[in-house]
Amino acid sequence: MGYVPNTEKDKKEMLRLIGVDEIEKLLKDIPEEIRLKKELSLPSPLSEIELKKEMLILSEKNADLLHYTSFLGAGAYDHYIPSVVEHMASRSEFYTAYTPYQAEASQGMLQSIYEFQSMICELTGMEAANASMYDGASATAEAAMMALRITKKREVLVSSALHPNYRMVLKTYLQGIGITIKELPYKDGITDADAISSSISDNTAAVIIQQPNFFGCIEELSAINTITHKFGALFIVSVDPISMGILKLPGELGADIVVGEGQSLGNSLSFGGPYLGFFATKKEYIRQMPGRLAGATADTQGKRGYCLTLQTREQHIKRERATSNICTNQALCAFAATVYLSVIGKEGLKKVAELCLQKAHYAQKEITKIKGFSSPYSAPFFKEFVIKTPVSAERIFKGLLKENIIGGIDLGNYYPELKDHLLICVTEKRTREEIDRLVSKMTEMAKHGG
């Protein structure tokens, strides 16, 4: 904390030291017409007890998940977080830790990163993982950049069933460097395989698919992998980590790079961030992977230790050899994911995934019983599904909010052809009573036209 002058004498001395005699002279470059000519309109000061009461009143205006039932998804999920996750992440040695450059002073943090990498490899079926990314969107874009470096090709194919925000970030990353992005259409809720066959070429660096995709549907990865590798392109898959508890791992299906959003692994919704992206690949591509890795080693006494390795950043190596300028690894979010996966274990993750699957299918079955409501896709789905409604999606959501239910997402905001289509997510937290209440309110709105 810097020095704060608290007397007129102190202020005059500070002004003298910097060569002016009044504060106004420091502001001479600010045009007169935009200066405030009156005192700030601020409320009178409050005592600590008054301030706490005021902040509590303000907080009650928020629609939080303690008072609302959420069926939102699309990359931000209301999964249960075991109490130990927050307890461990709140320990000062973890929540105050910065980039662990000094291995001798950062063994605990380095070990947690190493364990995170190991778990991501096991979760995705890949051979190497980095120490996390900003989020799922930037991880996907960095995967495309990596594929371009490896293949030396100039074209990327991306499914239009990939999260729309991810596609926007991808376009931002690749604009201005002469890369062609081709969007593949979807059919019956999944990427059109015929479109991949007709669009791919010898100039294609990568094909990017989401599993499950933005609509919650399960993609046919094996078939896409065959087409992709036939043309020497890399196969990039963005996954929901919870789904890996029951789906075949992308690494087993031929993926070259696997990325995703790790928020669902022990991180709260937090108004949309910060989250963490994970990134895994084959061992042969490890030197082209962005970010950094923590490695396990032994000290001079033969004791196990940890250190950062393969730090391909501009600060550490020649600029032209650097693969990324990422300068943070979202360490605390990744640590929370590590604790979550450690606590829940392989069988626990499978159970969470099964509950999501079962509850989502129950909800979809009950909603489609409502007159006028239907499911437009027959493709298998995991925990999210699309519903076509006979009334305005906006009116449905407003009606549900009055009942303290957050109903989902209006797909028409992302896909004009899906006007009055809802994307609804059901996690393991949703009870049968909550799902039945959602169905009941939707039924009422259908009868009265919203």
pLDDT tens across 395-410, in order? 999 999 999 999 999 9
- What's residue 37's pLDDT? 84
Q: What is the mean pLDDT of the chain?
A: 92
Query: How far is CA 263 from each of CA 29, 79, 94, 328, 404, rounded to the nearest angstrom?
Result: 45, 9, 18, 17, 24
DSSP at 78: -
Instruction: Place 155 in a pLDDT band, splitting at 50, 70 and 90.
Output: very high
Q: Pick 252 or 447 by higher pLDDT.
A: 252
Strand partners, 388: 374, 421
Least confident of 53-62, 196-205, 334-343, 382-391: 53-62
Least confident of 17-21, 344-348, 362-366: 17-21
Structure confidence by residue, pLDDT tens digits, 296-307:
999 889 999 998
Report, as an integer, the average pLDDT of 398-427: 95
Instruction: Place 308 in a pLDDT band, splitting at 50, 70 and 90.
Output: confident
Nearest C-alpha neighbor of 166 from the set 254, 279, 260: 260
- What's residue 142's pLDDT? 94
Least confident of 19-28, 152-161, 244-253, 380-389: 19-28
Predicted confidence (pLDDT) at residue 195 exceeds the cutoff of 70:
yes
Predicted confidence (pLDDT) at residue 327 exceeds the cutoff of 90:
no
Instruction: Place 4 in a pLDDT band, splitting at 50, 70 and 90.
Output: low
Predicted confidence (pLDDT) at residue 385 exceeds the cutoff of 60:
yes
Predicted confidence (pLDDT) at residue 328 exceeds the cutoff of 80:
no
Structure confidence by residue, pLDDT tens digits, 205-232:
999 999 999 999 999 999 999 999 999 9
Q: Angle at CA 189, nearest 5°, toward 233 and 171?
A: 50
Secondary structure of residue 434 in the 3-state scheme: helix
Domain residue spans of the chain: 69-80+345-447, 83-341
- What's residue 286's pLDDT? 93
Report, as an integer, the average pLDDT of 3-21: 80
Secondary structure of residue 133 in the 3-state scheme: strand
Which structure tokens are listed for 368? Answer: 């489609």
**Tokens 């990359």 correspond to what residue?**
75
- What's residue 2's pLDDT? 53
- What's residue 340's pLDDT? 98
pTM of the full structure: 0.88
Nearest C-alpha neighbor of 409 from the set 428, 387, 432, 431: 387
How many Å apart are CA 364 and CA 384, to the nearest integer?
9
DSSP at 372: T
> Which CATH homologous superfamily contains domain 69-80+345-447?
Aspartate Aminotransferase, domain 1 (3.90.1150.10)
Least confident of 17-21, 44-48, 183-187, 418-422: 17-21
Q: Angle at CA 217, nearest 5°, toward 400 and 171?
A: 90
Secondary structure of residue 188 in the 3-state scheme: coil
How many Å apart are CA 81 and CA 68, to the nearest integer?
17
Q: Pick 316 or 386 by higher pLDDT.
A: 386
Instruction: Place 314 in a pLDDT band, splitting at 50, 70 and 90.
Output: low
DSSP at 370: S
Please state which architecture CATH assigns to domain 83-341. 3-Layer(aba) Sandwich (3.40)
- What's residue 1's pLDDT? 46
- What's residue 324's pLDDT? 65
Instruction: Place 36 in a pLDDT band, splitting at 50, 70 and 90.
Output: confident
Least confident of 61-65, 135-139, 250-254, 400-404: 61-65
Predicted confidence (pLDDT) at residue 80 exceeds the cutoff of 70:
yes
- What's residue 319's pLDDT? 62
How many Å apart are CA 269 and CA 280, to the nearest integer?
24
Per-residue burial over 193-223, b = 16 or more CB atoms within 10 Å of its CB, e = otherwise: bebbeebbeeebbbbbbbbbbbbbbbbebee
Least confident of 28-32, 212-216, 357-361, 422-426: 28-32
How many Å apart are CA 326 and CA 309, to the nearest integer?
15
